[in-house]
Amino acid sequence: MDRNSSAVREELLRLREQTEAQAAALDSDLRSLFEASRSSNADDEHDPEGATIAFERAQLTAVLDAARRRLAELDNALGRVDDGSYGVCERCSRPIPAERLVARPSARTCVACASRR
């Protein structure tokens, strides 16, 4: 593994660790919300004070799902670093611009191919 691959791997691992911590915190928040709703008799559907428990649960679930997808994307990117295909478009085999990889480190396609979706 060359120096550049090593730096990319370190950055991807840092992002993965950060995302994993976020997912764990979200999972904990969701579990706490479930526990709170089980022990409460509140009629949150008619609560004029704000969001319902159901809305909060749906929102947390969506954000947690997104964090888990990001983890999978980062794992796939780490696999591409290991096999030497990181930074190469999966569709056209051209290099993915560095700017795109900075903005989206788990990108699998170049901008042109991504825009064709």
- How does pLDDT run across 48-82, given as a tens digit for each residue? 545 577 788 899 999 999 999 999 999 999 999 99
- Closest to 106 (Cα-Cα) out of 21, 33, 114, 65: 114
Whether the per-residue pLDDT at 9 is higher than 60: the answer is: yes
Do 59 and 97 fall within a single domain?
no
Do 63 and 102 fall within a single domain?
no
Look at residue 40 in the predicted model and tell me its pLDDT.
61
Do 10 and 60 fall within a single domain?
yes
Whether the per-residue pLDDT at 3 is higher than 70: the answer is: no
The phi, psi pair for 50, rounded to 5°, reads 160, -150
Look at residue 117 in the predicted model and tell me its pLDDT.
73
Rounded Cα–Cα distance for residues 51 and 1 (Å): 50
Domain count, the chain: 2
Do 80 and 46 fall within a single domain?
yes
Instruction: Evaluate whether 86 touches 8 at the Cβ level (below 8 Å).
Output: yes
Look up the pTM and report it. 0.81
Helices (H) and strands (E) in the chain, counts: 4, 0
What is the extent of the structural domain holding 91?
87-116
Do 64 and 106 fall within a single domain?
no
Do 82 and 96 fall within a single domain?
no
